[in-house]
């Protein structure tokens, strides 16, 4: 077994339910038809009556044999507790017979969660006595979040197939499905390798320097760099003070805060793309030595404090793997204000939402606080439906017919007006010193990472 496999499966109680089998239904139907004939033909009545008398003990004996044989299996499941969304996962069932004789037919069903897909059940079993049979199959996790196997089910058939016994073993398995990092990074068109990308050594804004060491004063050093406390403790042999200066180096790391909207502004497909882009950029930023913090607002208020090192990425995944959007109100600028209270140093704030014209006034009162200490990147998704309406007349199919109804003209005008006001708002924010990124769900990952690398190289932080 792999070390990653956790023994969270426990052999617990079994539940058994008796059900009529296929032979029971076929025999009952034939007996009913024979009874109809016996109603019209007296010669058939005697045969129908004797057949019924003979079938009753056969059916009862077949039921008793199945009851005596009963459940004769022990089963255990092995599956990794951490899975990747969309990646095939292998499940192993270890099945052992506990008694010598078996019912006539045995079928296996593993009760996998609804968030996964598998198409191998039911499976016919033939297990020799006192041997452990390993049955392996694959599942595909389709959704992020926790998952739960409710048990394993055996469907046992009687010798004459008049009855079936459904036995459910409560061997439970739990785990988590995380976003697929390989799938997130696949096909991302980046400017060079984001893990090894070189960032120019440019003086950063803000303090920009951090203490490295103490050294002797040299000609040309600034007087402001003299450490007078250290100097007072160092004297030459003739009793004169020996000047000591503080040696500084440029700050090598920055702090990045991601804020993601989990409210009504981002539907499921856009939210999943935004979360994947955020996790992928977090990986790149941590590789560059930056510290990463994350927050969400809307359906779930979440705050993850800044952390450095690649171990922090596992913490981010554990906190964000089950985050989903919901049709609830959300306020991006209340989230920014709340996040500012947690930040104690200059940060690169990346907020992902869908900004519209009505957000213009909400930002005006918080903008001075942002520009004073931080750099804000506002990521918004393009309105594809509005663009289709606004530019529908430019399509080749529509050029053949220039006649439009009044309703279509109004829709086109409204779409143009909406997009124009939105672009006007974005230009206003850019003139105020903010960074704006408008992209699609398919392109958000490369666009966001390339924007981050440009900011790192430009020295805006």
Domains of the chain: 14-178 (2.60.40.10), 209-250 (no CATH), 255-458 (3.40.50.410)
Which pLDDT does position 258 carry in this prediction? 95
Which pLDDT does position 301 carry in this prediction? 92
Euclidean distance between CA atoms 148 and 174, whole angstroms: 5
Q: What Å distances lie between residue 73 and 93, 108, 255, 264, CA to CA?
A: 12, 11, 56, 49
| Mean per-residue pLDDT, 336-352 | 89
Q: Is the confidence at residue 241, as pLDDT, over 50?
A: yes
Q: Is the confidence at residue 9, as pLDDT, over 70?
A: no
pTM value is 0.71
Strands (E), 131-207: 132-141, 145-149, 151-157, 163-169, 173-178
Q: Is the confidence at residue 403, as pLDDT, over 80?
A: no
pLDDT in tens, 350-399: 999 988 877 877 777 777 778 778 899 999 998 767 667 667 655 545 44
Q: Nearest 5 degrees, angle CA 363-CA 304-CA 266?
A: 50
pLDDT in tens, 128-146: 666 788 889 999 999 999 9
Q: Is the confidence at residue 12, as pLDDT, over 70?
A: no
Q: Is the confidence at residue 185, as pLDDT, over 70?
A: no
| Residue 197 vs residue 254, higher pLDDT | 254
Please give the torsion angle defined by the CA atoms of residues 303, 306, 307 and 313, in that order, rounded to the nearest 10 degrees: 50
Which pLDDT does position 10 carry in this prediction? 43
Cβ neighbourhood burial of 419 (10 Å; 0-12, 13-18, 19+): middle
Report the DSSP pairing between strands 347-353 and 375-381.
parallel
Half-sphere exposure at residue 361, Cβ-oriented, CA atoms within 13 angstroms: 1
pLDDT in tens, 28-84: 999 888 888 888 887 788 888 888 889 999 999 988 888 887 777 788 999 999 999
Euclidean distance between CA atoms 217 and 225, whole angstroms: 9
């Amino acid at each position: 077994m792999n070390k990653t496999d956790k023994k969270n499966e426990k052999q617990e109680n079994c539940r058994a339910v008796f059900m009529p089998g296929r032979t029971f239904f076929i025999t009952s139907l034939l007996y009913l038809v024979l009874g109809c004939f016996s109603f019209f033909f007296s010669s058939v009545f005697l045969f129908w009556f004797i057949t019924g008398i003979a079938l009753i003990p056969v059916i009862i004996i077949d039921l008793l044999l199945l009851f005596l044989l009963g459940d004769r299996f022990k089963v255990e499941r092995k599956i990794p507790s951490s899975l990747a969304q969309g990646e095939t996962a292998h499940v192993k069932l270890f099945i052992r017979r506990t008694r010598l004789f078996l019912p006539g037919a045995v079928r296996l069903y593993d009760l996998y969660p609804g968030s996964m897909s598998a198409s191998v059940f039911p499976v016919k079993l033939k297990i020799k006595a006192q041997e452990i049979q390993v049955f392996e199959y694959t599942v595909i996790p389709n959704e992020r979040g926790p998952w739960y196997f409710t048990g394993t089910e055996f469907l046992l058939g009687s010798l004459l197939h008049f009855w079936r016994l459904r036995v459910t073993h409560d061997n439970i398995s739990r785990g988590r499905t995380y976003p697929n990092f390989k799938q997130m990074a696949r096909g991302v068109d980046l400017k060079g390798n984001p893990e090894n990308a070189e960032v120019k050594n440019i003086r950063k804004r803000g303090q920009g320097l951090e203490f490295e060491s103490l050294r002797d004063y040299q000609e040309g050093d600034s007087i402001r760099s003299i450490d007078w406390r250290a100097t007072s403790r160092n004297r030459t042999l003739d009793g004169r003070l020996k000047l000591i200066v503080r040696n500084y180096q440029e700050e090598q790391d920055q702090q990045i805060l991601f804020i993601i909207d989990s409210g009504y502004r981002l539907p499921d497909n856009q939210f999943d793309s935004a979360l994947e882009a955020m996790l992928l950029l977090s990986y790149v930023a941590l590789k560059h030595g930056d510290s990463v913090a994350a927050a969400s607002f809307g359906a779930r208020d979440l705050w993850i404090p800044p952390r450095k090192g690649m171990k922090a990425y596992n913490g981010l995944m554990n906190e964000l793997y089950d985050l989903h959007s919901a049709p609830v109100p959300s306020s991006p600028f209340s989230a920014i204000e709340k996040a500012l209270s947690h930040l104690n140093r200059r940060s690169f704030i990346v907020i992902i939402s869908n900004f519209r014209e009505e957000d213009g006034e909400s930002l005006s009162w918080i903008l001075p606080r942002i520009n004073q200490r931080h750099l804000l990147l506002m990521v918004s998704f393009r309105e594809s439906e509005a663009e289709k309406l606004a530019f529908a007349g430019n399509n080749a199919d529509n050029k053949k017919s220039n006649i439009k109804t009044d309703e279509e003209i109004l829709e086109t005008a409204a779409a143009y007006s909406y997009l124009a006001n939105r672009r006007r708002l974005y230009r206003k924010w850019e003139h105020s010193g903010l960074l704006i990124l408008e992209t699609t769900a398919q392109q958000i990952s490369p666009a966001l990472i390339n924007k981050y690398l440009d900011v790192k190289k430009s020295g805006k932080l």
